[in-house]
A and B are shown apart, each in its own frame.
Chain A
Amino acid sequence: MQGVSAPREQAPPVISTSSTILNMREKEKYIEDFDFPFCDESSKYEKVAKIGQGTFGEVFKARARNSSKKFVAMKKVLMDNEKEGFPITALREIKILQLLKHENVVNLIEICRTKATLHNKYRSTFYLVFDFCEHDLAGLLSNVNVKFSLGEIKKVMQQLLNGLYYIHSNKILHRDMKAANVLITKNGILKLADFGLARAFSVAKSGQANKYTNRVVTLWYRPPELLLGDRNYGPPVDMWGAGCIMAEMWTRSPIMQGPTEQQQLILISQLCGSCTPDVWPGVESLDLYNKLELPKGQKRKVKERLKHYVKDPYGCDLLDKLLQLDPAKRFDADTALNHDFFWTDPMPCDLGSMLAQHTQSMFEYLAPPRRPGHLRHHHHAPAQPKPPQDSTYQDRVF
């Protein structure tokens, strides 16, 4: 008898909810006045300039009001069109940034809020607050006045690989490697940034493939396995991006700027050779392998084409190892760090003194568009883009 019946209603203790629970007005006042102990108001910083615009919010440079020397970058969490509340992508980014603490990973200081008031319908806006880095690599590379020596390029790559080694050891994939997401402080410390697409990965257990989305990574830096529809990928996707960025240290603009996914694959094949089961066992089982028309009979020309830019043979060799079509053959961060490139003369050298010659911040957002042309086939030195006028960069500043 019991058990199937509805819960026994005892003499219903009817109490009007209004007497026990705050009414709307009281609650609004409560929210407005509540001083959240763990979440400061964003007004403790004073915005100085907008330095970035991304898919999920604007980025501002700001100064701490209590110390005129302390600068931060504030990334706004865009929530306007969110049907499902605080975006899961932002939650991921926060979770991952809280986990990662490393010299070569951007440091999340805190998350700030605007005060909830009637004007914002009692809904705060949130900002991720980071230590400020004076430049991003895309901004630096687009300024011809910034010249990297071989030792400095080695230092950039060494720090970048160190950062990747750290995040991969922590089972995190970045999934958006590109020059604009690599920050560099005025002292020459490199920081991986923008974990907006990052996620945790697990090493697939036998017989159970992961199913990640392959619609990640900015097209120009997207590795062939993603373009072919792989959903069970891992750290090598970031290593491909590292290879693209490394080449860019010499070419000064992205080496493969495909307008479409198909075109991107063609550009990749023209540089790295055709994707065939010979050089890449298993490629034939990727979803799009048979669905896309892939260039056939392309020869691998990585070293041949890059050597005009990258005069250092070790550099060329490392690039060749990072731009491997087969993700299984691509160097991981650890192996790359052990490559002779980093252990031969000239050794990696500090960027601080070179950067000290530049007193304005260089960010992709503030820079003039980079030369659209990509890696050329001919053997001449690439035409230099017109030197950007310094005034287009953010004025003075650290």
Chain B
Amino acid sequence: MPYWYYDKKDLQNTPSFRDGINNDTENRYRKEGARFIIDTGSKMDLGYNTVATGVVYFHRFYMFHSFRTFPRYITACCCLFLAGKVEETPKKCKDIIKVAKSLLNEEKFNTFGEDPKEEVMTLERILLQTIKFDLQVEHPYSYLLKYAKCLKGDKTKLQKMVQMAWTFVNDSLCTTLCLQWEPEVIAVALMFLAGKLSKFEVVDWNGRAPKHNAWWDMFVEDITMELLEDICHQVLDLYSIQTQPSGGESPPLPPAPKPPKNEKKPPVTPPISASPAAPAKTPVKNGAEFYPYAPPPVAYTAPPPRLPPPPRLPMGLVYDAPPARFVASVPPPPLVPPPFLRARSPASSPPILSAAVIAIHCSDCVKVFSLCELRVTKPGRSQSFY
């Protein structure tokens, strides 16, 4: 039985490390690979489960092979390709490669070799053997929703907390948390973090028993505050301003995808360099509102995050109603994950930035809420294979 969880010592002594790649560099490679899977997946309308599954394959793969043997971007493509099939949202290999090419600069795309598709085909077999054909992977998302159903309190606040937690889960894919803890534990920790940041204190929940000190005691036994904080810090570290090693093959960020043609631009697009004043509201099709960008936090010196492209709504798909039981207890969850917000920033600034990052820099919790107001869009319905 493979056991996919490692302690911190194992995570330092990886094949890449033994191959002369230091931990910081490896972590950056992991982050870049994960982010690339997220970007490629989002651009192809793949759902959050497919994307997350691909990322987990990616992290597991590099517990057995070095980044020197297998360059990260082609592995990332291969992981997404396999995840697409496993999650019943298959994409053609050549289409994935096409998108990858559009997201990578030439130097990086050259690591795909002479015949990228053939490379992916060969790599897929290596990937499958490496991950023991352990295809089915669970993610924290479903647990977030499950836990949220039980929590009592102001529904709007609760929903916002869940949405913020959801964003943290997205970002956690760029860490090695999925190699350390089960999805349940990550879900608890990041919901805890979101609760803190959104100043939503959960005081009561369905199924509360006298022995429960906190809501999560109901779902995960023996979780310590230390552990919760450790997990939160691993995610928060993503947002801290780090100076990247200027040498190495530190790659420029992939160009942000252009807004899809079939989507109208938001009617009001404030200049990106606008002051951190109230962000423009942009209506989207289903009536939900979202804030297309967030004001730059004070502490953050880099240019503000760039307007993320509006989500491409799959045409003609039916809106998936949330499970009835959920509606009864809390307002609709972010059915579709809040979009993976992209930040455009020079390489010296954090490569990952999401709504959450701003939340952390904001002391005003009202603002925090508004920043986390995320779109509820039509879910990318998984394509039936047939």
Binding site for B on A (CB under 8 A): 1-4, 6-15, 17, 20-22, 27, 30-31, 34, 36-39, 83-86, 88, 91, 94-95, 98-99, 111, 113, 116, 121-124, 126, 205, 208, 211-213, 215
**Residues in chain B near residue A126, CB distance under 8 A:** 125, 128
| Docked pose: A334 CA to B373 CA in angstroms | 47
How close is A258's CB to chain B, nearest CB, in angstroms?
23
Tell me if B157 is interfacial: C-beta within 8 Å of chain A.
no
Asked if A94 and B303 sit within 8 Å, CB to CB, the answer is: no
> Of B180-188, B192-200, B207-215, B246-254, which stretch is located at the interface?
B246-254
Within 8 A of A (CB), among B75-96: 81-82, 85-86, 90, 92-93
Given the contacts A3-B304, A84-B93, A124 and B344 also touching, CB distance less than 8 Å: no
How close is B287's CB to chain A, nearest CB, in angstroms?
20
- Mask: chain B, 107-149; 1 = CB below 8 Å from A; 0 = not: 1001100000000111011101111111110000000000000
**Residues in chain B near residue A85, CB distance under 8 A:** 81-82, 85, 93, 120-121, 124
| Docked pose: A394 CA to B128 CA in angstroms | 34
Asked if B2 and A38 sit within 8 Å, CB to CB, the answer is: yes
Asked if B272 and A2 sit within 8 Å, CB to CB, the answer is: yes
> Of B64-72, B275-283, B332-340, which stretch is located at the interface?
B64-72
Asked if A86 and B272 sit within 8 Å, CB to CB, the answer is: no
The one of A10, A34, A38, A99 in contact with B252, judged by C-beta atoms closer than 8 angstroms, is A10
Given the contacts A84-B90, A85-B124, A122-B122, A212 and B384 also touching, CB distance less than 8 Å: yes
Asked if B348 and A10 sit within 8 Å, CB to CB, the answer is: yes
Which 7 A-B residue pairs are closest in the complex by CB-CB distance? A38-B132, A3-B272, A213-B386, A2-B303, A39-B129, A3-B306, A36-B129
The one of A2, A21, A37 in contact with B111, judged by C-beta atoms closer than 8 angstroms, is A21
Asked if B386 and A13 sit within 8 Å, CB to CB, the answer is: no
Within 8 A of A (CB), among B34-74: 64-65, 68-69, 71
Q: Which residue of B lies closest to A88 (CB)?
A: B85
**Residues in chain B near residue A6, CB distance under 8 A:** 255
Asked if B384 and A94 sit within 8 Å, CB to CB, the answer is: no
How close is B379's CB to chain A, nearest CB, in angstroms?
12
**Residues in chain A near residue B128, CB distance under 8 A:** 39, 86, 126
Asked if A94 and B130 sit within 8 Å, CB to CB, the answer is: no
The one of A27, A91, A94, A205 in contact with B321, judged by C-beta atoms closer than 8 angstroms, is A205
User: How many residues of B sit at the interface, in one of the four size bands?
Assistant: 35 or more
Asked if B71 and A21 sit within 8 Å, CB to CB, the answer is: yes
Asked if A22 and B68 sit within 8 Å, CB to CB, the answer is: yes
Asked if B130 and A123 sit within 8 Å, CB to CB, the answer is: no
Asked if B93 and A95 sit within 8 Å, CB to CB, the answer is: no
| Docked pose: A111 CA to B90 CA in angstroms | 22
**Residues in chain B near residue A99, CB distance under 8 A:** 136
How close is B311's CB to chain A, nearest CB, in angstroms?
18
Tell me if B318 is interfacial: C-beta within 8 Å of chain A.
yes
Q: Which of B65, B132, B255, B321 has the most chain A CB atoms inside 10 A of its CB?
A: B132
Given the contacts A3-B303, A6-B255, A17-B110, A31 and B126 also touching, CB distance less than 8 Å: yes
Asked if A2 and B273 sit within 8 Å, CB to CB, the answer is: yes
The one of B69, B122, B385 in contact with A22, judged by C-beta atoms closer than 8 angstroms, is B69
Asked if A86 and B125 sit within 8 Å, CB to CB, the answer is: yes
Asked if A17 and B107 sit within 8 Å, CB to CB, the answer is: yes
The one of B82, B133, B135, B385 in contact with A39, judged by C-beta atoms closer than 8 angstroms, is B133
Tell me if B260 is interfacial: C-beta within 8 Å of chain A.
no
**Residues in chain A near residue B2, CB distance under 8 A:** 37-38
| Docked pose: A11 CA to B348 CA in angstroms | 12
| Docked pose: A17 CA to B248 CA in angstroms | 11
Tell me if B346 is interfacial: C-beta within 8 Å of chain A.
yes
| Docked pose: A208 CA to B254 CA in angstroms | 39
The one of B68, B272, B304 in contact with A20, judged by C-beta atoms closer than 8 angstroms, is B68
How close is B251's CB to chain A, nearest CB, in angstroms?
8
What would 17 A/B residue contacts be, using CB atoms closer than 8 Å? Answer: A3-B303, A8-B346, A14-B107, A15-B249, A17-B107, A21-B111, A36-B64, A38-B130, A38-B134, A85-B120, A91-B85, A94-B135, A98-B135, A116-B126, A122-B122, A123-B121, A126-B125
Asked if A84 and B133 sit within 8 Å, CB to CB, the answer is: no
The one of A20, A86, A113 in contact with B85, judged by C-beta atoms closer than 8 angstroms, is A86
Given the contacts A10-B348, A99-B136, A123 and B248 also touching, CB distance less than 8 Å: no
| Docked pose: A3 CA to B342 CA in angstroms | 11
The one of A1, A10, A91 in contact with B273, judged by C-beta atoms closer than 8 angstroms, is A1
**Residues in chain A near residue B82, CB distance under 8 A:** 85-86, 91
Tell me if B307 is interfacial: C-beta within 8 Å of chain A.
yes
